[in-house]
Homo-oligomer: A and B are copies of this chain.
Amino acid sequence: VTAAIIAIGDELLAPGRVETNSAFLTDELARAGIRVGYRAVVGDDDDAIARATRDALVRNDLVFLTGGLGPTSDDRTRDAVATALELEMSVDESILRAIQARFDERGLTMPDVNRRQAMVPREATVLPNRHGTAPGLWITPEAQEFGARKLVVLLPGPPAELQPMYLDQVAMRLADYSSSVVYDVRKLWVAGLPESAVEQKILSTYRSVDNPSTSLLASSGQVEIRLTANAASADEAAATNERLASRLRKLLGEAIFSESEQTLEAVIGGLLLARNQRITVAESLTGGLIAHRITDVPGSSQYFDESFVTYSNEAKTELLGVPAGLFGTGGAVSEDVARAMAVGARRRARSDLAVAVTGIAGPGGGTETKPVGLVFIGLATAREVRVERFHFPGGRRQIKRWSSQAALNMVRLELLKELSSSDASVSGD
């Protein structure tokens, strides 16, 4: 069983744009034992979409089209697919009501153009969109020219709409199309080590096995290790991955922060909840990014009350009690200031743990002794205060991102230490 994925949108063909839905679908289809045999990106053009759809359908069993389902006139997918498959379109009243309701909820009048989103081929099953107005469509074309058991699925372009729709409504419907070879994808996420160091630790191990295949993917401050195993059954494929994963776990230890797509901030959230501890943050260089990441986690209000963005020296003194004299001696970017920020934030927020970041984000402000990318991160707990010094590469945003990652990883390792030392004291009783 093979699938084709066609991503639609002029903007996806523009320089600098990355199309991510195809990668998501490729991964998810692999879980169902469905191999992708063709991927394309086409513009907002009826003829191009129709040609790509027909062509893909001849050579593949399943065709997924993403994007171009919006309400505006350059959203061409519905019409083009109907043309390609010779389907008749009509207004689906239930979709119309659902779209109407979304506008009503927000006290807005539904623009006339949104009516287009309720036009669907008669043969289609509608996939409701809980995160947007464009419903998905599940179509089993009858035209015999394409062969038997063909399937065309239309999904909305925004990943925040496409992903839940696929996971909640499409995945289970695909059981009929799954094949005899099953794939299992396993991911291990590493923080605190550069990609080359991760590779050095594990290369000879993962190279020694053909199945699963292993790939590394680095992004600011973390490395994703992806194992893809194939086998005759899902259990066997999972077991094949687990055999290698357990060897990698021994080699990497605590550097692995997640095996479940959990973000670093979500992992920390879990650790804080388990310890019944609360955290605060004092941010100069990161300017709110760490607090933003912490509060991206649902339920973070259980362990996060407040934090401080202190960009100017005066704010550091006034809000966090950093002695003004420190700025004269070592400057705002120094070990002493990072330490004082962490201690001050912890006291001020009456939290168990505080992490503080000061550094030079650039592009200006660097000097020979304090170059752009120099960052001090302070961590204060009831037991100790310590500061680590980093020098991160890249531009302003990358340095902010790296710094937030390093700060959160320091917090994670501290919480693991506390957990294991308290475990030890329990078992020593």
- Chain A residues proximal to chain B, CB less than 8 Å: 9-11, 13-18, 23, 26-27, 30, 35-44, 48, 51, 55, 59, 70-74, 102, 105-108, 111-114, 131-132, 158, 160, 183, 185, 194-197, 199-200, 203, 207, 213-219, 224, 226, 228, 281, 283, 286-292, 294-296, 298-301, 304-312, 314-315, 319, 349, 361-364, 371, 391, 393-398, 400
**Which 6 pairs across A and B sit closest by C-beta, in order of nearness?**
A287-B295, A288-B291, A306-B315, A288-B288, A288-B292, A305-B312
Q: Which of B131, B215, B391, B396 contacts A44 (CB 8 A)?
A: B215
Which of A207, A291, A298, A299 gathers most chain B CB within 10 Å?
A: A291
Q: Is there an interface contact between A131 and B308, defined as CB atoms closer than 8 Å?
A: no
A164 and chain B: residue at smallest CB distance? B395
Q: Is there an interface contact between B296 and A400, defined as CB atoms closer than 8 Å?
A: yes
Q: Is there an interface contact between A364 and B311, defined as CB atoms closer than 8 Å?
A: no
Q: Which of B113, B194, B300 contacts A199 (CB 8 A)?
A: B113
* Docked pose: A37 CA to B312 CA in angstroms: 48
Q: Which of B13, B185, B288 contacts A309 (CB 8 A)?
A: B288
Q: Is there an interface contact between A15 and B185, defined as CB atoms closer than 8 Å?
A: yes
Which of A195, A199, A217, A290 gathers most chain B CB within 10 Å?
A: A217
A297 and chain B: residue at smallest CB distance? B396
* A43 neighbours in B (Cβ, 8 Å): 37-38
Nearest chain B CB to A420 CB, angstrom units? 28
Q: Is there an interface contact between A114 and B196, defined as CB atoms closer than 8 Å?
A: yes
Q: Is there an interface contact between A73 and B207, defined as CB atoms closer than 8 Å?
A: yes
* Docked pose: A319 CA to B39 CA in angstroms: 53
Nearest chain B CB to A292 CB, angstrom units? 4
Nearest chain B CB to A14 CB, angstrom units? 7
Nearest chain B CB to A383 CB, angstrom units? 25
* Docked pose: A131 CA to B398 CA in angstroms: 10
* A74 neighbours in B (Cβ, 8 Å): 214-216
* A304 neighbours in B (Cβ, 8 Å): 287, 311
Question: A217 and B16 in contact (CB under 8 A), knowing A196-B114, A226-B11, A298-B362?
Answer: yes
Nearest chain B CB to A391 CB, angstrom units? 5
Q: Is there an interface contact between B298 and A364, defined as CB atoms closer than 8 Å?
A: yes
Nearest chain B CB to A219 CB, angstrom units? 8
Nearest chain B CB to A32 CB, angstrom units? 11
* A362 neighbours in B (Cβ, 8 Å): 298
Nearest chain B CB to A171 CB, angstrom units? 15
A102 and chain B: residue at smallest CB distance? B393
Q: Is there an interface contact between B41 and A13, defined as CB atoms closer than 8 Å?
A: no
* Docked pose: A199 CA to B396 CA in angstroms: 35
Q: Is there an interface contact between A196 and B71, defined as CB atoms closer than 8 Å?
A: yes
* A195 neighbours in B (Cβ, 8 Å): 70-72
Q: Is there an interface contact between A14 and B228, defined as CB atoms closer than 8 Å?
A: yes
Q: Is there an interface contact between A396 and B298, defined as CB atoms closer than 8 Å?
A: yes
Nearest chain B CB to A245 CB, angstrom units? 15
* A301 neighbours in B (Cβ, 8 Å): 311-312
* Docked pose: A217 CA to B13 CA in angstroms: 13
20 additional contacts (CB under 8 A) given A105-B371, A113-B200, A298-B364: A11-B215, A14-B185, A15-B185, A16-B23, A17-B215, A37-B43, A37-B48, A72-B203, A74-B216, A113-B196, A113-B199, A113-B203, A131-B394, A132-B394, A160-B397, A287-B294, A291-B291, A298-B363, A301-B312, A307-B309
Q: Is there an interface contact between A18 and B26, defined as CB atoms closer than 8 Å?
A: no
Question: A309 and B308 in contact (CB under 8 A), knowing A15-B30, A196-B114?
Answer: yes
